Amino acid sequence: MKVVADHRRARFDYEIRETVEAGLILSGQEVKACRAGQVNLAGAYVTFLQGNPILKKMKISPYKFASGLDDYDPERDRPLLLKQHERKKLQNAVEEKGVTVIPLEVRAGKYIKVLLGLGRGRKKFDKRQKIKERETGRRLREGREI
Say whether pLDDT at 28 is over 80. Answer: yes
pLDDT in tens, 30-57: 899 999 999 999 989 999 999 899 999 9
CA atoms within 13 A of residue 128's CA, in its CB half-sphere: 3
Q: Report residue 69's pLDDT band, with 50, 70 and 90 as the boundaries.
A: low
How far CA 94 is from CA of 17, 87, 98, 130, 134, in Å, comes to 12, 11, 8, 24, 29
What does the pLDDT average to over 12-28?
90
Confidence of residue 96 (pLDDT cuts 50, 70, 90): confident
Distance CA 124, CA 101 (A): 20
Is 103 a residue whose pLDDT tops 90? yes
> Quick one: pLDDT band at residue 146, thresholds 50, 70, 90?
low
- pLDDT at position 14, please? 86
pLDDT at 12: 82
Are the beta carbons of 46 and 101 closer than 8 angstroms?
yes
Query: Which residue from 13, 1, 38 is spatially nearest to 103, judged by alpha carbons?
Result: 13
Average model confidence (pLDDT) across the chain: 88
Buried b (16+ CB within 10 A) or exposed e, 58-86: bbbeebeeeeeeeeeeeeeebebebeeeb
Domains with residue ranges and CATH for the chain: 2-121 (2.40.280.10)
